[in-house]
């Protein structure tokens, strides 16, 4: 490591340096050590060349936080009695820069090849900011001088620097929140998880694990598989299998098996938290102070807990139509997977993947299913593929579609389980449509219910339209630096369980100095589990044209889209190729596995613009 020649005196007081110095004297109610510490961090990051030497790897081994603190005392910037607190604060700043430098070291063949601009750029990446000074409190970036002033003026800094019960409190017991909580506990941190499920209008509730485990990915995939088994039975006779003429499906047996599996997963999560010494509270959390949250359990018993940091991972809940009878008589995906009776003739309202997936497995189980959509299918996905899905479900699976139509009234026509509902709807051209269904499932989208968290109390900014939490690229709240958000509740993020898990684990590593890697929100593979599965990764055709132009042809693959059996299994592997910037030539050079559906990607010759027929007649 390079030696530096001597130590420079701090810059003369004036200009921006003077502005930072004034911060020390800004507020009498904050203890001197806290003021001095904030000042020292700002000074080190912008006004003193010591941090530049730290960033470029030029610190000598004897330049410790203790030595720097001694020097600041010697210069008269800090009172001797504040020395011990400054050591901690300086150490945090130096550690963060070393962490940033270590990331660059991994990419560099030689430590002497470190580029200061790259290191600072990396520091900007992990902090979500793009200018100096960067001031950190307890490892969290608060921004610059003006941001720190606000924290001093509103009393938040004083409370922040106090001791709290926990290092991290996670609000939300879904996949992302639990992953973050467990990793933080393994890192030796004091962690608590708050999880509470507000019952649906029909009274449905569930256990620990969030949407994915209880009312999302897991039960959806199990029911999808159940419907595929029925199709396999229908095909079995053509392959020599003999069985009776009548094959029946039992909805109650399927639901019992699905719920039994979910209950086991709920219990496993509880065990994992206990083994890692994570405090679990089956309680609803609302902020009551800058670092305080009120936890209220189902018996209305309340307790106040405090923490250095909070991670919000509360996910989303189904959105209801503002139409008479919807909340009284309709169900959502929160209800369907534990429904104790067969839903019978079903109307799925919405063009979302949830609506199409539910319609698909219900039809596969032999039910009469209709999908009512207001506009296009699968908004945000490749529209060519979306239309192919709709066409397949309609012509092959027998699902009925009603386009450009929305319900205007839901009435109970007959009691019972499932009973009978009369649905009145209106098409875009004004035509009224009336029909009767046993069950109406609403799947028009999902909302963040963050209003109930009392985020205004701590100044957390949310998107006015969707109530999701607005954050920097490092999942840190743009307005409250000790609060973070991951998963579906993060504004601009991807509503996918694996993304929430990855983001949660990487966030914990950054918060506690184990890594500086950010979660990558591009080139994320996903699958829609319609009867014929749809897997994709990268840009849709529409987005590719929007970004690169219709005829801007290059050899790099921008998007991968597959409609076929086991699309999820196939897409997962090809996604690695896209992450590694695979080209069409790479795919052409790959030898396919025969006979498989995936081998077609090693033999692509027909372009969409050629309008040639896609047809395979042999090996």
Enzyme catalytic residues: 594
Q: 10 Å Cβ neighbour count for 49? A: 14
Q: Encoding tokens for residue 341?
A: 């009776």
Q: How many distinct helices (H) and strands (E) make up the chain?
A: 20, 21
Report the alpha-carbon distance of residue 381 to residue 360 in Å, rounded: 18
Three-state secondary structure call for residue 495: coil
The Cα–Cα gap between 581 and 556 comes to 7
Question: Residue 373: left (phi > 0), alpha (psi -120 to 50), or beta?
Answer: beta
Q: Where are the beta strands (DSSP E) in 217-291?
A: 279-281, 283-289
Distance CA 226, CA 229 (A): 5
Q: Is there a cis peptide before residue 499, judged by omega within 30 degrees of 0?
A: no
Interatomic CA distance for residues 218 and 411, integer angstroms: 32
Q: Are 571 and 529 in contact (CB under 8 A)?
A: no
Q: Is the CB of residue 530 less than 8 Å from the CB of residue 502?
A: no
How many alpha carbons lie under 13 Å from residue 511 in its C-beta half-sphere?
28
Distance CA 559, CA 575 (A): 9
412 secondary structure, DSSP code: E
Q: Considering only CA atoms, which of 109, 168, 182 is closest in space to residue 484?
A: 168
Name which of 414, 410, 413 is nearest 440 in CA terms: 410
| Cα dihedral 197, 200, 202, 204 sign | negative
DSSP 3-state percent helix, strand, coil across the chain (nearest 5): 40, 20, 40
């Amino acid at each position: 490591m390079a030696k530096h020649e001597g130590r420079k005196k701090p810059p003369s007081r004036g200009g921006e340096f003077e502005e930072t110095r004034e911060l020390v004297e800004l507020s009498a109610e904050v203890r001197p050590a806290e003021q001095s510490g904030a000042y020292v961090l700002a000074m080190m990051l912008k006004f003193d060349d010591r941090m530049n030497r730290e960033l470029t790897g030029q610190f000598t081994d004897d330049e410790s936080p203790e030595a720097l603190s001694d020097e600041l005392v010697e210069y008269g910037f800090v009172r001797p009695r504040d020395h011990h607190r400054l050591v901690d604060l300086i150490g945090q700043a130096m550690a963060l820069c070393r962490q940033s430098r270590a990331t660059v070291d991994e990419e560099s063949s030689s430590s002497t090849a470190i580029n200061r601009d790259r290191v600072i750029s990396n520091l900007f990446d992990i902090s979500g900011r793009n200018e100096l000074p960067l001031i950190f409190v307890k490892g969290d970036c608060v921004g610059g001088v003006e941001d720190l002033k606000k924290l001093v003026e509103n009393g938040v800094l004083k409370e922040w620097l106090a001791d709290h019960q926990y290092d991290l409190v996670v609000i939300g017991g879904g996949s992302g929140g639990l992953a973050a909580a467990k990793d933080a506990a393994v890192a030796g941190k004091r962690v608590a998880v708050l999880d509470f499920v507000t019952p649906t209008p029909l009274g449905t509730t569930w256990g620990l694990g969030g949407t994915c485990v209880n009312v999302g990915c897991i039960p959806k995939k199990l029911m999808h598989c159940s419907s595929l088994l029925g199709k396999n039975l229908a095909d079995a006779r053509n392959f020599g299998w003999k069985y009776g003429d009548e094959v029946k499906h039992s909805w109650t047996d399927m639901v019992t098996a699905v719920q039994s599996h979910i209950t086991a997963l709920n219990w496993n999560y509880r065990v994992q938290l206990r083994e890692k010494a994570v405090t679990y509270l089956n309680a609803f959390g609302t902020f009551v102070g800058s670092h305080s949250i009120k936890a209220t359990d189902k018996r209305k018993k309340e307790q106040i807990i405090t923490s250095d940091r909070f991670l919000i991972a509360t996910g989303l809940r189904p959105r209801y139509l503002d139409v008479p009878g919807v909340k009284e008589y309709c169900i959502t995906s929160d209800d369907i997977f534990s429904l104790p009776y067969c839903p019978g003739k079903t109307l799925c309202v919405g063009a979302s993947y949830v609506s199409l997936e539910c319609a698909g497995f219900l039809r596969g189980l032999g039910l009469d299913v209709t999908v009512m959509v207001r506009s296009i299918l699968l908004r945000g996905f490749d529209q060519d593929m979306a239309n192919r899905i709709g066409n397949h479900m309609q012509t092959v699976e027998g699902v009925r579609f009603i386009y450009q139509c929305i319900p205007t009234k839901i009435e109970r026509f007959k009691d019972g389980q499932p009973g009978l509902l009369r649905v009145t709807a209106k098409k875009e051209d004004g035509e009224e449509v009336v029909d009767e269904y046993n069950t109406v499932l609403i799947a028009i989208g999902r909302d963040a219910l963050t209003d109930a968290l009392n985020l205004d109390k701590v100044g957390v900014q949310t998107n006015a339209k969707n109530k999701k939490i607005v954050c920097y690229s490092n999942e840190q709240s743009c307005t409250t630096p000790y609060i973070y958000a991951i998963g579906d509740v993060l504004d601009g993020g991807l509503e996918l369980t694996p993304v929430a898990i990855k983001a949660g684990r990487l966030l914990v590593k950054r918060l506690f100095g184990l890594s500086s890697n950010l979660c990558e929100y591009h080139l994320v593979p996903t699958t829609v589990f319609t009867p014929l599965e749809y897997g994709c990764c990268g840009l849709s055709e529409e987005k590719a044209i929007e970004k690169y132009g219709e005829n801007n042809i290059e050899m790099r693959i921008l998007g991968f889209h597959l409609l076929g059996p086991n699309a999820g299994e196939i897409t997962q592997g090809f996604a690695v190729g896209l992450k590694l910037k695979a080209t069409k030539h790479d795919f052409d050079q790959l030898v396919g596995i025969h006979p498989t559906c995936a081998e077609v990607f090693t033999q692509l010759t027909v372009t969409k613009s050629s309008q040639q027929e896609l047809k395979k007649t042999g090996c």
